[in-house]
Chain A
Amino acid sequence: MDINRVLDKKNYQKYVKKNMPKSKFLKECAMAFLVGGLICTLGEALDDFAEYTLFLDEAGIGTFRSAVLIFLGAFFTGIGIYDVLGRYAGAGSIVPITGFANSIVSPALEYKWEGYILGVGAKLFTIAGPVLVYGISASVIAGIVYYIIGVL
Chain B
Amino acid sequence: MGTRVGQKTVRFDKMPIILSTAAVAGNAEKTGPYGSTFDIVFDDDLWGEKTYELAERKMLIKAIETAMAKAGLKPDDISYLLGGDLLNQIISAGFAARQLGIPFFGLYGACSTMAESLMLGAMIVDGGFAKYAACATSSHFATAERQFRNPLELGTPKTPTSQNTVTASGAAILSSTGDSTYPAVTYATTGRVIDMGINDVNNMGAAMAPAAAETIISHLEETGRKAGFYDHIVTGDLGTFGSELMLRIASDAGYDMTANHLDCGVLIYQGNELMHCGGSGCGCSASMLCGHFINSMNQGTIKRILFVATGVLHSPTSALQGESIPAIAHAVSLEMGCGS
Contact = CB atoms under 8 A, between A and B. Distances in A.
Interface of A: 1-4, 6-7, 9, 12-13, 15-16, 19-23, 28, 77-78, 80, 82-90, 93-94, 99, 102-103, 105-107, 109-111, 113, 126-127
Contact of A83 (B152, B159, B213, B217): B152
Contact of B156 (A9, A86, A126): A86
Contacts of B276: 21
B151 A107 contact: yes
B228 to A, nearest CB: 18
Contact of A94 (B156, B211, B213, B240): B156
B69 interface: no
Contact of A86 (B51, B155, B159, B217): B155
A127 B154 contact: yes
Q: How large is the interface on B (under 10, 10 to 19, 20 to 34, 35 or more residues)?
A: 35 or more
Among A88, A107, A126, chain B packs the most CB atoms within 10 A around the CB of: A107
User: Which 3 pairs, one residue from A and one from B, show the smallest C-beta to C-beta distance?
Assistant: A86-B155, A3-B214, A106-B153
A12 B253 CA distance: 14
B196 interface: yes
A16 B198 contact: yes
Given A2-B214, A20-B203, A83 B197 contact: no
By secondary structure, the A interface counts as helix
Interface of B: 50-51, 146, 150-161, 194, 196-198, 203, 206, 210-211, 213-214, 217-218, 221, 240-241, 244-245, 249, 252-253, 274, 276-277
Given A3-B194, A13-B196, A85 B214 contact: no
A78 B197 CA distance: 39
A9 B197 contact: yes
B241 A21 contact: yes
A13 to B, nearest CB: 6
Contacts of B146: 110
B197 A77 contact: no
B160 A22 contact: yes
Given A20-B203, A83-B153, 10 more contacts: A15-B245, A16-B206, A16-B245, A20-B160, A20-B241, A23-B160, A86-B157, A106-B151, A110-B152, A113-B51
Contacts of A3: 194, 210-211, 213-214, 249
